[in-house]
C-alpha cells in the first residue's frame, strides 16, 4: 500500500510519468508490481486515479465499454 500511495502522490508533480495506453482508452498507467495504477490527466497539476487493478486482469475487457471512466 505504501508503494502505491507514494506513486499516486508523485503523479501530482509528474503526471506524464505513466505511459498512455490504447487498451485503456487513452488513459495512462503506472506499474507498481503486481498492480497497475490507471489514471487520467485532468490538468497539468491534477490527475484522476480511475482504478488500481492487478496486472494480470484482462484490461480491454475491464475498460473497453466503461463510459463512466472518461
Q: Is the dihedral of CA 62, 50, 5, 32 positive or negative?
A: positive
Alpha carbon distance 25, 53 (integer Å): 15
pLDDT exceeds cutoff 50 at 68: no
Domain 2-61 homologous superfamily, CATH: RelE-like (3.30.2310.20)
Per-residue pLDDT tens over the stretch 4-63: 999 999 998 999 999 998 878 889 999 999 999 999 999 888 899 999 999 888 887 887
Q: Is the dihedral of CA 67, 68, 69, 70 positive or negative?
A: positive
pLDDT of residue 22: 81
pLDDT of residue 59: 80
- Record the cell numbers describing residue 19, joined without a space: 505511459
Alpha carbon distance 65, 5 (integer Å): 27
Amino acid at each position: 500500500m505504501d508503494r502505491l500511495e507514494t506513486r499516486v502522490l508523485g503523479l501530482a508533480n509528474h503526471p506524464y510519468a505513466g505511459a498512455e495506453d490504447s487498451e485503456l482508452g487513452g488513459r495512462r498507467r503506472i506499474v507498481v508490481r503486481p498492480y497497475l495504477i490507471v489514471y487520467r490527466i485532468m490538468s497539468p497539476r491534477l490527475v484522476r486515479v480511475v482504478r488500481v487493478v492487478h496486472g494480470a486482469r484482462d484490461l480491454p475487457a475491464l475498460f473497453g465499454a466503461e463510459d463512466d471512466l472518461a
